[in-house]
Chain A
Amino acid sequence: MIEPIICSEVLARAMRTGADFAEIFVSDKELFSLSMTRRAVDNAVSTRNRGVGVRILSGDNSIYAYGNDLSREGLLKLADAAAGAVTAATTAGHLDLVLRPSVTPNVHVYAQKPGTVPARKKADLLNEVYFAAADADEKIVQVDANYMDYRYNTLIANSEGLYTCDERYYTRIGVTAVASDGKENQSGYVAPGSLAGFEFYSGFEPAALGREAANDALLMLSARDCPGGKMPVVIGNGFGGVIFHEACGHSLEATSVAKGNSVFCGKLGQQIANPKLTAYDDGTLVNNWGSLNISDEGEKTQRITLIKDGILNSYMIDRLGSRRMKMPSTGSGRRQDYTYAPTSRMTNTYIGAGTDTFEEMIGGVDLGLYAAKMGGGSVNPATGEFNFAVKVGYMIRNGKIAEPVRGATLVGKGSEILMDIDMIGPDVLLAEGMCGSLSGSVPTRVGQPTIRVKQVTVGGRA
C-alpha cells in the first residue's frame, strides 16, 4: 500500500515538533451487503472505504489526523497537521527511522473468501433465512434480513520500526421477525457472524435462524408484561454474557482505568467477584468474530485472564493506556478503522465454566426471572451503572420455569452484580455483537455459561 521508505519519511515528519512516538495506520475495507424486506431484495451495496490515520504520542497525550489521500503529499499533510498540535519543550533533530517489514502470521482459516463466492449465492442464502421466518406463522407480519461480508486489510507502521500488514475476512447474517396480533407488535432477532469466509454458513442450517427469530417474536407476543422490582435472576448462556461485557468489561479497559474513571481502579489482586467466577478476554480464539492476529497497534493478540477465582487479575491495556498506567500493554488496542485512533477494547470476553446445574439454579428460586436471551445494553464506567434488555424471559415460580414475560430490563451496578453472582453452570457459549466506544464500533463476542444472580433490579411494566 505505502512503501516503507515513504512511511519512515512521514513518521519522522510527524515527530519533528517533539512527539516521542508516531504511527501510520491504513485500513482498506471492501464491503458487500444485501438487505431484504417485503419478500424481496431491496438493496445491494458495494462499498470500498480506504483511508489513513497518522497518530503521534507526546507523553500521555495523543494527536490523530486522518484522511483518504494515501499519496506521499497527502500523508505529509496529515503528519504536519498532527505535528502542529504538539508544543513540546524540546523539538527533535533529524530523525532517521528504519522500518523492518514483517509478515503477520495468520492463524485463521478462510476457505471461501467472499470475493470468490458469486453474489447470487449470497442472495440465495439470504432468501432461505428470510422465508423461513416470513412463512413460519401467519402472525409474522414483517421480516427484515440482511447479509454482509467484507475484506479488511491493514498496514501499520510506527517509529519503533514496525511495518506490517494483516488481512481479515468477516461475514454476518441477521434477521428480524415481527409478529402481530393486530393490536401489538413483538419482534425476534438473530444475527450470527464470524471472522471467516462463506464456509461459515455450511456449519448450520440457515433456515433455522429464520425460524428462531420468528419463534421468539411469537413467544413474546403471547407473553405478558414482566413485573418490576428486585428479584433473583437466572441469565442464559451465550449473549447473556453481555452482562459481564457491560457491567465489568468496560470498566476494566484502560480507557476507564487510566484516568481513574473506573470502580475497579487500584483493585488488582483484590476480590471483586464471587470466588466461583473466572473470566477471560481472548483475542486468539480461531475464527472467532472478535479475534485478531494482531491488535490495531500491531501487537500480538493475547488471552487475558481478567478475573481468577473472583480476584481481579488484569486490565485490558493499549499503548497509550500503558503509558498512562505505567503498566505493560496487553495488546488490547483496537479501532473501527482509520477514522479512529485506537484505544483499549475487548475481543472475545467471557465467563468461564462452573459446576452448578440449571436445575439447582432454577430450583432455588421462589419468585424470580429467567432471562433466557439477552438483548444489548450500556454502562457508565465511572459509576458502574448498567442497563440491559431481556429479549426472551420467563418468570420463575416456586422453583420452576413459569409463564413467558416481556419488556424486562436489568439495571444495577457492575461491582455489586459481580459479587452477587452465586451460581455458575458448565455450558459456556459465546455470541456475536458490535461494541461501540471511543474508537468506534468493533466486532466482539460476549459469552458465559448459565449463571444466577442473587438479586437484580428488574424494570418491567406490570
Chain B
Amino acid sequence: MEDIKCLYEQVSSILEAKGFHEYELYASQNEEFSVVVSNGQIERYNVNNGLGVNLRVKSGNRIGYASTTVLDADSCRALCQGAIANLDLINLAEEQFIFDGKNAVYEPLDSYSDELDEITAAEKCEIARKLERYTLEKDPRVVRVHTCCCLSGSVRVTICNSHGLELTRRNNYIGAYIIPVVADKDVMNTSIGYCISRKKLTDEQLRKAADSAVTKAIELCGAAPAPSKTCPVIFRPDAFVDLLSTFADVFSAENGQKKLSLLTRDKLGTVVAAPCFTLIDDPLDTTGVNSMAFDDEGVPCHRKELIRDGVLTTLLYNLKSAAVDGVDSTGNGVKRSYTSPVDTAPINLIVAPGQTDGDGLMKEAGSGLIVEELAGMHSGANPETGDFSLSAKGYLFENGAISRSVGNITISGNFYTLLKDIQAVGNDTVVSIDGIVSPSVLVRALALGGE
C-alpha cells in the first residue's frame, strides 16, 4: 500500500502540473503458486510475484488509459503521457467516470484468509501428491494421471483517486485439481476433479475430487453417440456453470444498450425465465472465492437478484452504463485484468437451489439426457445471439433411471429460450472452480445432435 501511495503522489504531481485534476491509479499485486506432480515427483513448479498499475485520466467526458509493470521515474512520466495522449482519441458521447465516493458505504468483508499464508510450498506439494495417490488408488482402470496440480493465489487491489478515495481489498484461495486418464478395453478417457477454498483443504475434499474425477472418467469411457432427437436435458452443476459463465455478459446493461443482449432495460419486470429460476449476484457472499466489497471502480458491492422467480429484476451496471440509464451503479464495474478498460460482469453468480434431488429431476423428466461435461464454449456459443451448439458428454436416462453413457454428441439451443424452458432446479449445489454456485438444472427440451 505504501509504495502504491508513493507512486500515486508521483503521478498526481505530474498530472496536476499538466492541468489534469481528475484521475485514478489502480494497482494489482499478485502472488501465485502452482505445483504439478507426476508419480510423486515435482514435474512443474511455478511461483509468481507481480505488480501492475493502471492509470485513468479524465478530461471533459472522456477517460484515457495507460498501464505498466515498469515502475521507475521514466515509466511514471510515460504512463501519464500515454493516458493523456489516448484521451484525445476518444469520441464517445457517453460520459465516463472516476468514482467520487459520495455516500459510499463499504461492508466489512472477510475475503482474505491468513490461515492460507501459513501453508508452505512443501505442504502444497504434499497436497498434490496426496490427490494423485488417492486418484491412482481409486480404481485399477486409472492408467496414469494427465495432470495433478495444487495451486494458490492472492491478489491485492488498491485504488487511489483524485476525489480522495483510497481503497484496498485482498483475496486469496487454495485449490487442487486432477485429470486422470482411464482405460477400459483399450478405450481411453479423461475427466477432471477439483476442490477450491479459502480455508485449508481437507483430506475429505481431496478424496472427493479424486473420486468424482475417476468415477466420471470411467462411466463416460467409450461413451457412444445417440440418435439425434429433441429431449429433456438435465445439466449437472458444472455443466450449467459452464453455460452460465459463457452467457453471463447478457446481464450487462451496457450490452443491452448496445443491443448485444436481448435483456434490455425495457425487459425489466418481465418474464425472462421459468418461475422456478432465481439468479443472484452476491459479491458479499463468501461461499465462492470471488467475493469483494467494492468493484474495480471503487463502487461498493451489494447482493442483488438478477432474476427473481423468472422475472428480470435488474441488470448489471458500472458507472458509465448506469449514467446512460439514469440509475445507480450496481457495483459491477469489473476489469478483466489491470490493463483493461472498465467493463461489466457479475462477481459471484449464484443459482438459487430448488427442492428436487438428482433422482427427482430424472423422475420429473421421465427420459432424456444428463449433461455431465460440455466442451467448445469459446467457439460453439455466441453470447451476442444466445445460440449455442456444444460438444457434450453424459448419460441417457429412461423412466427416471440412467440407462447408459453417451458421448460424441452435441446439444444445441438458445440461452434465452433455455431460461424460459427450465422445468426444475435441483438442490445439489456445487461451488465451481471459477466461483459460480449452481445446482443441477432440468431443461424441458434441447436438440441432441448425434447419429
Closest residue to A184 on the B side, CB-wise? B385
B43:A228 contact, CB within 8 angstroms: no
Closest residue to B29 on the A side, CB-wise? A68
Q: Of residues 379 to 406 in B, which have CB atoms within 8 Å of A's CB atoms? A: 379-380, 382, 384-387, 389-391
> Which of A46-54, A158-166, A199-207, A419-427 binds B?
A46-54
Most chain A CB atoms below 10 A, which of B44, B64, B88, B410: B410
Contact with B along A38-63 (1 / 0, CB 8 A): 10111111111111000000001111
Kindly identify which residue among B45, B88, B340 contacts A85, using a CB–CB cutoff of 8 Å: B45
Contact with A along B410-451 (1 / 0, CB 8 A): 111100000000000000000000000000000000011111
B116 located at the interface, meaning its Cβ lies under 8 Å from any Cβ of chain A in the complex? no
B385:A46 contact, CB within 8 angstroms: no
Inside 8 A of A141's CB, which chain B residues have their CB? 259
Contact with A along B77-121 (1 / 0, CB 8 A): 010001101111111111000000000000000000000000001
A382 to B52, CA, bound (A): 36
Contact with B along A169-210 (1 / 0, CB 8 A): 000000010101000111100000000000000000000000
A37 to B90, CA, bound (A): 11
Kindly identify which residue among B49, B384, B389, B390 contacts A178, using a CB–CB cutoff of 8 Å: B384
Shortest CB distance A245–B (Å): 12
B44:A459 contact, CB within 8 angstroms: no
A388 to B66, CA, bound (A): 36
B341:A43 contact, CB within 8 angstroms: yes
> Which of B68-76, B235-243, B364-372 binds A?
B68-76
B189:A229 contact, CB within 8 angstroms: no
Inside 8 A of A336's CB, which chain B residues have their CB? none
Q: Of residues 6 to 64 in A, which have CB atoms within 8 Å of B's CB atoms? A: 34-35, 37-38, 40-51, 60-64
A162 to B410, CA, bound (A): 49
Inside 8 A of A38's CB, which chain B residues have their CB? 92-94, 258
A411 located at the interface, meaning its Cβ lies under 8 Å from any Cβ of chain B in the complex? yes
Kindly identify which residue among A51, A82, A385 contacts B50, using a CB–CB cutoff of 8 Å: A51
A229:B449 contact, CB within 8 angstroms: yes
A144 to B339, CA, bound (A): 19
Residue tally, chain B, CB below 8 Å to A: 77
A88 to B45, CA, bound (A): 15
A65 located at the interface, meaning its Cβ lies under 8 Å from any Cβ of chain B in the complex? yes
Kindly identify which residue among A48, A261, A389 contacts B376, using a CB–CB cutoff of 8 Å: A389
B384:A411 contact, CB within 8 angstroms: no
A260 to B339, CA, bound (A): 38
The majority secondary structure among interface residues of chain A is strand
Closest residue to B86 on the A side, CB-wise? A44
Q: Of residues 308 to 367 in A, which have CB atoms within 8 Å of B's CB atoms? A: 339, 341
A72 located at the interface, meaning its Cβ lies under 8 Å from any Cβ of chain B in the complex? no
Residue tally, chain A, CB below 8 Å to B: 75
B408:A46 contact, CB within 8 angstroms: no
B69:A43 contact, CB within 8 angstroms: no
B13 located at the interface, meaning its Cβ lies under 8 Å from any Cβ of chain A in the complex? no
Inside 8 A of A120's CB, which chain B residues have their CB? 89
B144 located at the interface, meaning its Cβ lies under 8 Å from any Cβ of chain A in the complex? yes
B259:A142 contact, CB within 8 angstroms: yes
Kindly identify which residue among B93, B144, B181, B225 contacts A457, using a CB–CB cutoff of 8 Å: B225
A185:B384 contact, CB within 8 angstroms: yes
A388:B410 contact, CB within 8 angstroms: no
Shortest CB distance B293–A (Å): 26
Contact with A along B44-71 (1 / 0, CB 8 A): 1111111110000000000011111111
A98 located at the interface, meaning its Cβ lies under 8 Å from any Cβ of chain B in the complex? no
Shortest CB distance A182–B (Å): 11
Inside 8 A of A185's CB, which chain B residues have their CB? 259-260, 262, 384-386
B42 located at the interface, meaning its Cβ lies under 8 Å from any Cβ of chain A in the complex? yes
B188:A383 contact, CB within 8 angstroms: yes
B355 located at the interface, meaning its Cβ lies under 8 Å from any Cβ of chain A in the complex? no
Shortest CB distance A232–B (Å): 15
Shortest CB distance A28–B (Å): 8
Given A67-B48, A228-B412, A230-B451 in contact, is the A61-B42 Cβ separation under 8 Å?
yes
B161 located at the interface, meaning its Cβ lies under 8 Å from any Cβ of chain A in the complex? no
A123:B89 contact, CB within 8 angstroms: yes
Inside 8 A of B382's CB, which chain A residues have their CB? 187
Inside 8 A of A339's CB, which chain B residues have their CB? 48, 50
A261 to B147, CA, bound (A): 10
B451:A457 contact, CB within 8 angstroms: yes
B48:A411 contact, CB within 8 angstroms: no
> Which of A102-110, A274-282, A292-300, A371-379 binds B?
A371-379
B146 located at the interface, meaning its Cβ lies under 8 Å from any Cβ of chain A in the complex? yes
A412 located at the interface, meaning its Cβ lies under 8 Å from any Cβ of chain B in the complex? yes
A408 located at the interface, meaning its Cβ lies under 8 Å from any Cβ of chain B in the complex? yes
A60 to B45, CA, bound (A): 12
A408 to B106, CA, bound (A): 47
Closest residue to A261 on the B side, CB-wise? B146
A142:B260 contact, CB within 8 angstroms: yes
Shortest CB distance A68–B (Å): 4
A178:B259 contact, CB within 8 angstroms: yes
A461:B389 contact, CB within 8 angstroms: yes
A411:B387 contact, CB within 8 angstroms: no
A93 to B70, CA, bound (A): 35
Given A185-B262, A382-B190 in contact, is the A461-B86 Cβ separation under 8 Å?
no
Closest residue to A386 on the B side, CB-wise? B391
A411 to B228, CA, bound (A): 13
B181:A380 contact, CB within 8 angstroms: no
Inside 8 A of A378's CB, which chain B residues have their CB? 375-376, 378-379
Inside 8 A of A67's CB, which chain B residues have their CB? 48-50
A460 located at the interface, meaning its Cβ lies under 8 Å from any Cβ of chain B in the complex? yes
A460 to B51, CA, bound (A): 46
A-B contact list, 16 entries, CB within 8 Å: A40-B90, A43-B341, A44-B90, A46-B65, A61-B44, A64-B45, A67-B49, A229-B449, A339-B48, A387-B375, A389-B376, A411-B391, A459-B390, A459-B409, A459-B410, A459-B411
Residues of A within 8 A of B (CB): 34-35, 37-38, 40-51, 60-68, 81-82, 84-85, 119-120, 123, 141-142, 144, 176, 178, 180, 184-187, 228-230, 259-261, 339, 341, 375-378, 380, 382-383, 385-389, 406-409, 411-413, 457-462
* Those 9 A-B pairs whose CB atoms lie nearest each other, nearest first: A459-B410, A228-B449, A459-B449, A387-B391, A376-B379, A44-B86, A46-B82, A387-B376, A409-B389
Contacts A47-B68, A457-B408 known; list 11 others, CB within 8 Å. Answer: A38-B92, A43-B90, A48-B78, A60-B43, A64-B47, A120-B89, A184-B385, A385-B391, A386-B391, A409-B376, A460-B412
